[in-house]
Structure 1
Amino acid sequence: MSKKPLNTPSRRAFLAGSAAFLGAPAIAQELPAGQAERDPTLAVRRNISSFRTLDWRPYFNNLNKGAILVDIDSRAVHYWNENESIYKLYPSSVPLSDELTRRGRTSIILKDPKPDWRPTPSMKERNPEWPDYIGPGPQNPLGTRSLHLTWTYYRIHGTHDTRKIGRKSSNGCIGLYNEHIEELYGMANVGTQVLLI
């Protein structure tokens, strides 16, 4: 029976160390630059605590045609139907910066079952290498469904890039997982009131 030298790591130790190393960047992204966190579960708890259920009454006078509340800070979309029998809470992507963020009251003016995408003039200016058009399909940046708001260029839509959900990653729109936008699309109506806070 041969013995391994003491300084040779075992396969189990290698795998455990690799898993810890790979998990570290996700935790580090939650921290301000240059700040170390002693207990990584604190960062997770902070993130989870901001994703909470809400009551509609502080935000809307009524639920006529349903209501959607987009909480930019907690990166969450809340939906209540007109008779309060349905409440949904979805994680979302939000705009990259305050300059791209629009807050206030609006409503759904169009439901698009097969969205196509064109960059806005300001997006094209910032990213001239982007294509001028992407038709409906799996690589469309608007995902599988889109809810157009009264504000030009602003939408609640799906995304093919699931890494964006839960992050500041959009050019102004609110993004959902495709399965979530499909569910919301089925419940929301033209005229559904929307508030971004």
Structure 2
Amino acid sequence: MTNERSTNFDRRAFLAAGAAFAGAPALAQTELGTTEVERDINEAVVRNISSFRSLDWRPYFDNLNNGAVLVDITSRALHYWSSDESVYKLYPTSVPLTEDLTKKGRTRVVRKVEGPSWRPTPSMKKRNPEWPDHVGPGPDNPLGTHALYLSWTYYRIHGTHDTRKIGRRSSNGCIGLYNEHISELFALTNVGTQVLLI
């Protein structure tokens, strides 16, 4: 019974801290060195979506072996091309809060998990010691319903139950999609699918 109470308390503390964090304005440095202020996540935000457009894969990849995923941090969009070019998908995403949390470059999908568990990274735990060490699959899980694990430690492309995060700088480094979009991308990708973050 004590362990159950402890788990419930930790979960409540985690959710309360997450809600407080989500409610606070987020600051992020743009490429020009100016500060972008993300307003309260509960406010409606009108966005210019002119940069949210379809792209050709050729400037970014030598081939489409195993399919390809391009994540454009600036436009907050994820592009997917199948290996035979019969499928092209474009999804809105959440992106990291700041440049120092953002990793760019080439990687690949190394693992696919439906109903992922979440553990905070050591740096997250240091900043937020009240967060639980583990959150299992379900509606409280920050990774949503599906996760694509990348070859970079701690980096994922995953879903989110908090749909207000999509289209915003709101993550600690991962790329987030609506759960219905990550479910679709999960079915399209393979272990070995190439990924490029720009």
Q: Which amino acid aligns with 2:145?
A: T
Give, in angstroms, the shift of residue 138 of structure 1. 1.6
Give, in angstroms, the shift of residue 152 of structure 1. 0.2
Classify the secondary structure of the residue corresponding to 1:78: strand
1:174 lines up with 2:175 in the alignment: yes
Q: Which amino acid aligns with 1:171?
A: N
Q: Which amino acid aligns with 1:120?
A: T
Give the match for residue 74 of structure 1: 75
Unaligned 5+ runs, structure 2: 1-34, 38-44
RMSD: 1.5
Q: Which amino acid aligns with 1:142?
A: L
Separation (CA, whole Å) in 1 of partners of 2:148 and 2:125: 22
TM-superposition CA deviations, 1:88-143 (whole Å, max 9, x none): 00000000000000000000000011200010000111112211110011221000
Unaligned 5+ runs, structure 1: 1-30, 34-42
Separation (CA, whole Å) in 1 of partners of 2:36 and 2:172: 22
Q: Which amino acid aligns with 2:89?
A: K
Give the match for residue 119 of structure 1: 120
User: Which residues of 2 match residues 9-28 of structure 1 at below 5 A?
Assistant: none
Separation (CA, whole Å) in 2 of partners of 1:186 and 1:138: 21
Give, in angstroms, the shift of residue 50 of structure 1. 1.1
Separation (CA, whole Å) in 1 of partners of 2:150 and 2:49: 28
User: Which residues of 2 match residues 30-179 of structure 1 at below 5 A?
Assistant: 44=46, 47-179=48-180
Give, in angstroms, the shift of residue 32 of structure 1. 6.1
Moved over 3 A (4+): none
Normalised TM-score (structure 1): 0.77
Classify the secondary structure of the residue corresponding to 1:169: strand
TM-superposition CA deviations, 1:8-56 (whole Å, max 9, x none): xxxxxxxxxxxxxxxxxxxxxxx967xxxxxxxxx95x72101111000
Separation (CA, whole Å) in 1 of partners of 2:115 and 2:197: 24
Separation (CA, whole Å) in 2 of partners of 1:135 and 1:169: 21
Separation (CA, whole Å) in 2 of partners of 1:192 and 1:104: 14
Q: Which amino acid aligns with 1:160?
A: H
1:190 lines up with 2:196 in the alignment: no
Separation (CA, whole Å) in 2 of partners of 1:112 and 1:154: 13
Which has the greater radius of gyration? Answer: 1
Please identify which structure carries the higher strand content: 2
Classify the secondary structure of the residue corresponding to 2:49: helix
Q: Which amino acid aligns with 2:95?
A: V
Classify the secondary structure of the residue corresponding to 1:47: coil
